[in-house]
A and B are shown apart, each in its own frame.
Chain A
């Protein structure tokens, strides 16, 4: 672990919790006299972390891990669209509504739908990328395959062949040989997901969510897309194997 020791990690998590907690208090009042002007909503609820100009440099950003997203590059982590594409408005709304588990991005279900919708053009307005490109159509999720011992074994083979283990570790603990030196696009340290710890999958816990993450990649992070590398069947095998790495109790709890 080059960038952080365990203590540092726990410290960062503790700070993140504190931030999330104080935000949770804030949000208890959110719906009262709700402002629907996107810029006002942004300033009040988003700017403390993401910064007034969307650069991910708000006053509390420093004490948060993982770091709040810098919106100026148009790089959105959780998308339904192919690698490199901008997100759809629905993708942005989804993240606003559900938050990003395992990070300080809480679900903003306390804001009204109107308020969340008003935020979308504000967020997009921070990046010139939206002036150059349009989001590509969402990737197709092919016919789902039932998980069996055989599909899990096939998924394990893909996990080995496509070198998922290099970051996520041979047992899925997020401790592969490249794990300790990964950085996001802004040079901040970032950890590969530890599947054995369970259900805080950043983009959601459903099988379809897992399928989407390695199909679309997670822009701004080292997690690439494997869309060109895996067929629909192979992607489901990999979903089944990744699921099998999670502790059964956690899987049940995290299931939809």
Chain B
């Protein structure tokens, strides 16, 4: 678990959330507006380097529930064909105004099934409530590692539903102490310009007002990369990222 706080802190955005009186003031410095003639960013995130072998997880508890098949880590999923990386979060950082948040019609879920989190990475807007579920026949403890948001750790038994609201932009790792191979990330963003890459590492962000922005790609094992991107009204711009293993 070492280093998780480091990541969480490192990802922390500088936001005006503290009023002068010290009371909580939620202003993320983002203003919603109607975007006319918005631009679009498309691209792919690919892996640079030798393809790493899939990492087999050590599943040694509750085998009746968790041990149906070999389980591989989802920490880095690379397409064999395109070298595209799945589950990378691509986001515009520090954008001050733009399209409206469209709240999901129902709370996004983080399920626990056969002792795996589904999905492995969940990206949400600040203020979203996530329903944490347990579809397994065993109890899981849902242990979150947060500073700005609440660092809860709660037992959830079979069929349980634990709604949790995430108020602040932060990167929150989720773990289960009973099944140590289980790992997920909830990424909370302060503006609606974020997407997750698909199986081929492709992404598309639309309705962006013309301007120059910082575009960030973040992956849990490979870290983040930031590029400047200039959007022209009504046009599409292509931005690709190549992420490589850290320390190389």
Task: Give A residues with C-beta under 8 Å from B.
Answer: 72-75, 83-85, 127-129, 131-134, 161-163, 166-167, 177-178, 181-187, 217, 219-229
Contact = CB atoms under 8 A, between A and B. Distances in A.
Interface stretch (B114-122, B134-142, B187-195): B134-142
Given A183-B1, A185-B1, A227-B154, A222 B141 contact: yes
Contact of A132 (B2, B5, B24, B162): B24
Contacts of A186: 1-2, 5
Interface in B2-33: 2, 4-5, 17-18, 22, 24
A228 B156 contact: yes
Nearest to A73: B147
Contact of A217 (B146, B153, B157): B153
B157 A225 contact: no
Given A85-B150, A162-B139, 10 more contacts: A127-B147, A161-B157, A163-B139, A178-B178, A185-B151, A222-B143, A225-B153, A227-B154, A228-B155, A229-B154
A224 B150 contact: no
B151 A84 contact: yes
Interface of B: 1-2, 4-5, 17-18, 22, 24, 61, 138-139, 141-157, 160, 162, 167-168, 177-178, 180
Contacts of A75: 151
A187 B153 contact: no
B154 A132 contact: no
Contacts of B147: 73-74, 127-129, 132
A217 B143 CA distance: 11
Contact of A229 (B144, B146, B156, B180): B156
Contacts of B160: 228-229
Nearest to A230: B155
A223 B153 CA distance: 7
Contacts of A166: 61, 139, 178
